[in-house]
Structure 1
Amino acid sequence: MDMIFKALGDPARRDILDRLRAKDAQTLSELEEHYEMTRFGVMKHLGVLEEAKLITTKKVGRFKYHYLNALPLQETIDRWIEPLLAKPAARGLLDLKAQLEGAANMTDKPDFRMETYIHCTQDALWNALTDPDLEAQYHFASDKVTRDGNIVTYHTPDGGVMLICTETELVPKTRISSTFEPKWDGPDMKTSRFDYLIEPQGTFCKLALEHYDIPAGQEGVADGWQRMLAGLKTFLETGKEAKFRYGS
């Protein structure tokens, strides 16, 4: 927590976070264009932000892309605000820096990246991500999840289809690659793809979510991922149903 406050104490670092909030996945060269300081100075600020887990990075080829990871801020704020809230919100994700060497999509740059630590076994996390009955315990918008082979369908409360995910590659207990076919605004919504990356860390598991090829107009999926992964973490660590719904 001290590192977070230290990182936010400098106006240049706050400005970097603002720029990543406006446009994620920026390289050092893109960021340094906005500052009069030297390239080394910008690198130093990025290092402080990364150490505080306020940004996360992914290296693709010779480029290193930077992503805002604001979840530690939410956790810090909740330390004082949570007792005052009568309603739950999407929160609770812990910060981490996760990058699996040799993972798929190493030549691609994700449009959105989120990371967390979950206090659970690798088996428990894998089961929670692949068992539709368990997914229904923490998905913020779907009380019914069904599986037909490698096709996972998330249903709306009225019995319709909200989302279809077709798993394209599974590396047991390590990675899930899947399509992301939204249906909540009709059948013509464009398809994208995502990866879950899992790595055991002692009594914790390190989980990263990377979403690729997000079509214009679907940027709001980032909030949905935050709610879903917050539910996943809470569910695994408490054993109780956890749904961070909109408006709850």
Structure 2
Amino acid sequence: MDSIFKAMGDPARRTLLESLRQKNGQTLQELQTQLDMTRFGVMKHLAVLEEAGLIVPRKRGRFKHHYLNVLPLQQAIDRWIDPLIEKTSARAVLNLKTQLETSNMTAPAPDFVMQTFIETTHDALWDALTQGDLAAQYHFACDTVNGDLNAPGDTQAFVLPDGSPMLSFTLNEIDPKSRIEMRFEPHFFGPDAPASRCVYLVEPSGDAMKLSIEHYNVPAGQEGVGEGWARLASALKSFLEVGPARRFGFPQG
């Protein structure tokens, strides 16, 4: 937590974070235009932000893209700010405005990247991501999750308490214990909402597990999925580290 506040204490680093909030996935060259300093100076500030977990780099072809990682900010607000102010105001600050990156690369860059570290076992995290009965215990809005993600073609459907569908994942590819690629169908945007693609990346990190979430080809009008991912990751972390007592649902009213 100290590293987050220290990283945000510098005005140059706040400028970089604000720039990524406005346009996620920028390269070093793009971010350098935001500051009156050398390329090396910008790299040093990006390194501090990366160390604090506030940004996540992703290399695509010759370019490294930088993504605002909203989860540490969400957790800081949940712990230190949320009890003091209206939740709707706090959440509005974290609303991401992502844009599709159109640079010429050998592979497409994600529109959205989030990363978190969870004190749990490899098996426990993998099961929580793939087993519907476990997902139902931590999802921030759905008490029912039908289906498991074990083989390509499997579908996992998230159902709201009133019985209406919220979203569904259809498994495209799976690399056991390390990568899950899915078709993302957001029914909460309407029955005809276009689908996109999302990826879970799972890897050990010391005594913890690192979970990265990547979202590709987010359609126009669906940029708000970033907040949903933050709530899902927060609830998953709480579930695996503490238990299913607390969920991070949308504020009422």
TM-score by length of 1: 0.85
The answer to whether the Cα contact below 8 Å between 1:199 and 1:206 also exists between their aligned partners in 2 is: yes
Tell me which residue corresponds to 1:207. 211
Structure-2 change in CA distance of 1:83 and 1:187 (3 Å): closer
Does residue 183 of the first structure (1) align with residue 152 of the second (2)? no
Deviates more, 1:233-242 or 1:162-171: 233-242
Identity of paired residues, percent?
57
CA distance in 2, matches of 1:4, 1:164: 33
Deviation at 1:81? 4.5
Deviations 1:74-114 (A, max 9, x none): 43455544676899xx99xxxxxxxxxxxxxx822111111
> What runs of 5+ residues in structure 1 fail to find an aligned partner?
92-105
Matched with 1:240 is: 244
Matched, 1:129 2:133: no
Q: Secondary structure at the match of 1:49?
A: helix
CA shift, 1:229, in A, is 1.1
Classify 1:83/1:168 alpha carbon distance in 2 versus 1 (closer, same or farther; 3 Å). Answer: same
SS of residue paired to 1:145: strand
Distance 1:72 1:199 in 2: 19
Per mean C-alpha deviation after superposition, the further-off stretch among 13-22 and 182-191 is 182-191
Q: Where does residue 118 of structure 1 map in the other structure?
A: 118
Q: Which amino acid aligns with 1:234?
A: S
**Count of equivalent residues:** 233
Of 174, 196, 201, 1:197 maps to 201
Give per-residue Cα distances to partners, 1:174-232, cap 9 Å, x unaligned: 11110001112322101001110000123311111111110010011111111111111
Contact 1:231 1:243 in 2 (8 A): yes
Cα separation, partners in 2 of 1:169 and 1:242, compared to 1, 3 Å? farther
Match of 1:94 in 2: none
State the match for 2:9 in structure 1.
Answer: 9
Q: Cα RMSD between the aligned structures? A: 2.5
More moved, 36-45 vs 217-226: 36-45
Richer in helix (by share): 2
What TM-score does the superposition give when structure 2 sets the normalisation length?
Answer: 0.83
- What CA distance in whole angstroms lies between the structure 2 residues aligned with 1:52 and 1:228? 21
